[in-house]
Structure 1
């Protein structure tokens, strides 16, 4: 029994510290080992992996960007790639194989698409965050319901931001890392340039501020309950 207890205690011991510097290896082998570690960590994660996480498994002198570049070069002929998204890195299947994957899994192409009303509200939050529900309603010329906001929150595309300095200190809304990951952005700076969208006739700040962003928005909200309180 004593021996059994000792063995159980050993299972709770901390694992040996990982040798990250690998000074016993020649430079080329050291670099290859770091590459393998970085790719393994990213491959094993369902979410984008940030720099701080990768830094735990490589030496202090390791340039993570160069490691990522070398891994990407080795994946050039593969059906998946290493992408910069949501402030980190993630393995993703190349878009060219989208139809193949959907056919194999039976997924519809529009399975991840948002209804127009939700997409428009999300677009406004992305460009004008932090923004209140009242300000969103002003843009659209119609009340943006709590239900619609709740749908976007339930998908982890938006979250509560800082309280607004407006009377009553209403909540503001901001986009999340899941939003960046969903649309393949690394940071919000990757959003299409607002002025470029205006020049292309796809978006108008005047219409936004005048409450005329999309005439069909009201129709898209007909089945969503409205509330007038913030």
Structure 2
């Protein structure tokens, strides 16, 4: 059975002496499963208790309040399917569906990254602050964990970026590693992100990246997150007092 993406557009009266137009954004958008477009249309009309035209001549627009548009949703259509998936707000972490914001006429923010205008504003300020801190070398390195609530298993990582940005990257640009496969297999509400160490480099440290990797290794071993978690490998043990071999470190 195929999936069909549909939009119901409302009529917007034209100015004096001009034709009406179909308003944007649509009144409602959704997905319906059906054997074909005809069955999809019938299901939508049954749900709404009314019939919808799928084509209206401009001269006849004043006779119709709504217009129905239907298209078959391809399995690989990531752009449209993303609208129906839970997304974590980049600022507060609250899960939301983009399609719910599109369908809510009172939504104050319709972008894909934040749940509300308040979070969008705060996020932009935070990104500017993080950018300034990073440019000045004042953004602290951290070790973080991502824990799956259902199993208690964790993934341990390190970052010198804003840690909220690192969590966002895991969610939006997944690879085929076992951690990202697990992320994709359960709802976002099943996961929690936390910082477990803000790394402070000792005065005698000659190689900060080696020291950071050593702290990551410590926590991976502490949680046993390779054998009983979502880390794929254990970072090589490197002395912070020696030059770093990047290939050995990662």
Q: Give the TM-score category using the shorter length.
A: under 0.3
Name the one with the larger strand percent: 2
Identify which of structures 1 and 2 has the higher relative contact order when contacts are C-alpha pairs closer than 8 Å and 6+ apart.
1
- TM-score, length-scaled by structure 2: 0.22
Name the one with the larger helix percent: 1
